[in-house]
Structure 1
Amino acid sequence: MTEIAEAAPEYEVETEEQILARVRNNARRAKARTWGLRALLVALWLGSWELTASLWIDPFFYSKPSLIWDRLVEWFTEGTQFGSIWLQLYTTVQEAVLGFVIGTVAGVVLGVLLGRSRYWADVLAPFIKALNAVPRIVLASLFIIWFGLGLSSKVATVVVLVFFAVFFNAFTGAREVDGNVINNARILGASRRQVLTAIVLPSATTWILSSLHTAFGFALIGAVVGEYAGASKGLGLLISNAQGTFDAAGIYAGMIIITVVALVAEWVIGLAENRLLKWRPSQAGSGHGV
């Protein structure tokens, strides 16, 4: 028995600092592999597109990455035929942000109020569904007739798109609040306003914040659609002009700029969500990256 015990290997016990360092290193390596694979996929996609457009398909209709890059460089160094690219970008972002804020506030307020009032929700349900069913491009055209080609018509289009994306989530979040919690609060003497602000709103926060990721994408779509229908400046105008002049590279360039703006906004909203929901239990690995 003594010989067996002496022959048994001795294991070195890791300290807490060593375990944390190993976990961080593994996480960094995994992240590096993920980004490396992403970069490889993008390189393969762009390379195959460039090769295909150079050898087999007509780049006049399908464009290619090198032409798109040239158009982006031209816009950011020489400007566009409608002025500086920064002016076009600022105009579209301004329209999207203003409409996003107005539509979000309206969607949250009405969603929570109707979510807690079953009677008014039943009364207004057909009207809300009818408004949600109206094609947005039709509303964009009407807004241009009503408000002109300026900022107001684009903001109105954005508000309509954002409102419904936020409203339905806020409505569902308000309906999903545990009734026992509300009843206990009322027994303890909480007023209707206190129940709404201290229980319903915090409980619906997760639903509301999750809708903002989609809502800002809708905000950019609304701004571009409004500009596409009629505008004097903006990224939608650049894309519309590129379509009219058969400039496929210009269309792709406008799409890329809008995509970058959407990704930056998604990152900012994600930071705000993580900060506001620090109280929520961690759900690591449940649906991340989807």
Structure 2
Amino acid sequence: MAQASIGDSEFDRETAVTPGAPGVYDTQLFPGWTVMNIVNGGYLLAVMGRALGDALPHSDPFAVSAHYLTPSVPGPAVVRTEAVRTGRTLSTGQASLFQTGEDGSEVERIRFLASYGDLDALPDDIRTAAKPPEMPPLERCVSTSEGPLPDGDFTIIDRLSMWLDPATVGWAVGEPSGRGEMRAWFGLADGREPDPLSLLFTVDALPPTSFDLGLRGWTPTVELTAHIRCRPAPGPLRVAITTRNLAGGFLEEDAEVWDSADRLVAQSRQLARAPRA
């Protein structure tokens, strides 16, 4: 498969924003990035991350926190940004995405606060106990292009090249492990290489860990915080997501994203509503 260059891929075209008034960007949310006809939360992070990166003097997202207020649907939207503070190494801004509701009024879908910097200027010292997830080689994993597919309309699957760890796909044959784990080799279907913006999408792109807990259906994100740690090397990513606690109808998902050079390039935690059993 030929690789799409950054800027000329489906992901770039369909997360594009068009500047209008100062700090205001028009965009289109595309139906190919939906789960059960609702726009995926990671895709929304990438759209808003692109707008805020254009509005601030620094372009690389370092830390983002998003609250999902109402479900986003395919169609036109507008992103309004505001610079909160600009410094020498970090700039912080906020953004909100709006769509027109059924009654014609403007509805806020997601509110986003983020700090941006220059990933290439970071020191190269690493002191960590974190290790890449133990997974079989890609060729021994299960491609979502051949199955398993979740129940319902998961149009987003066609945008992805994803090979799931066989130890985390028991849910597909009615045998979830109950451990709340999901692991996969991950990339975009058109071969676009990963970058900081696409990592914002990656942290929320795998099937939800609720499947491995024996729960099927939509798992809507309430809040998601992501940290981008370094610019990823070319090649497939390894993504590991875990849930340790489902209580009161909510669960957390902790994600780690590792690049082909065995570096931890992104981390996230989100709070989501659990599907109804």
- Give the TM-score taking structure 2 as reference length: 0.24
Identify, as 1 or 2, the structure richer in strand: 2
- Give the TM-score taking structure 1 as reference length: 0.23
Which one has a bigger Cα radius of gyration?
1
Identify, as 1 or 2, the structure richer in helix: 1
